[in-house]
Structure 1
């Protein structure tokens, strides 16, 4: 009778050791805004990006944080992929359509989550320094309505009051 339980016991022990080995690999990656590595984002002068997972420029899942200065304006654009955004800090004002209109935006504060479907024209602006976390399945990039909008985005990113 003992011999019948030996293979079962060995299987259970093997499974326990396998799970223990995998749990070491699955340690959470902890970070806060103070420990993230922020890099300048040349396509949005004044903005910084920190990559948490994956690579937005490559095929596959990614998570990135964008840090916008106060009074920053993002020209109307769209993405080929659906984008999942969460406001980490600050206030991000989001509008839809192909014309920028400060008065037609919705203020999103820290903790707000929104999904922007692929090909949806949208734009935004910040009231104060704002960190926006974006995630999706890349490659990711902004497609502006026209060349003038893209050049304007690079040359004039501050909202003038």
Structure 2
């Protein structure tokens, strides 16, 4: 990644609540090939989510119209309040069970259990929420810019 691109990505990530520690250079192999092992991931807090969540950005500048891939570690009993995203978001459950639902009001009973290997695809502007009952790792990918807007401003940790 070029220095200017890295500076831009880091500055935008900090504005979005992503620590610069998670924006470390990705190990590249050849022309456009990327290979990353789990021990190479740089995890850090997510300022746009409630405390406890950890993020590792694997590729892309989350603030531009380019592909991105990131992972989130969510602890047991974690709640993601109802929110929307500005672009399509694709979520793959890598470990644990993530409970996910579409809607404007948090309703634990309406959430669907998505075990390891499950996929969820959400369209821009559609309200959603989720929770965990154990530790969960999910991978998100799409085309940026990525963002999160909570339906209830009181749920936004950036406030």
TM-score, structure 1 length as denominator? Answer: 0.74
Residue of structure 2 equivalent to 1:66: 72
Task: Encode CA deviations 1:64-113: one digit per residue, 9 max, x unaligned.
Answer: 00111110000000111010110011110001110001110001111111
2:27 paired with 1:43 = no
Shift of 1:150: 2.1
Q: Is the 8 A contact 2:68 2:142 kept in 1?
A: yes
Q: Does 1:93 align with 2:99?
A: yes
Residue aligning to 1:122: 128
* CA distance in structure 2 between the aligned counterparts of 1:29 and 1:49, rounded to whole angstroms: 18
The number of residues matched between the two structures is: 130
Q: Deviations over 1:32-80 (max 9, x none)?
A: 2x33110111222111100111021233110000111110000000111
Give the number of the structure whose residues are more often helix, by fraction. Answer: 1
For structure 2, the 5+ residue unaligned runs are: 1-28
Distance 1:64 1:35 in 2: 13
Change (3 A) 1:58 1:26: closer
**So what's the TM-score if we normalise by structure 2?**
0.75
1:132 alignment partner, one of 121, 138, 151: 138
Question: What does residue 77 of structure 1 align with?
Answer: 83
Secondary structure of the equivalent of 2:154? helix
SS in 2 for 1:57: coil
User: Which sections of structure 1, spanning at least 5 residues, go unmatched?
Assistant: 1-22, 156-161
Q: In the alignment, which of 89, 109, 116 is matched to residue 115 of structure 2?
A: 109
Q: Equivalent residue for 1:30?
A: 36
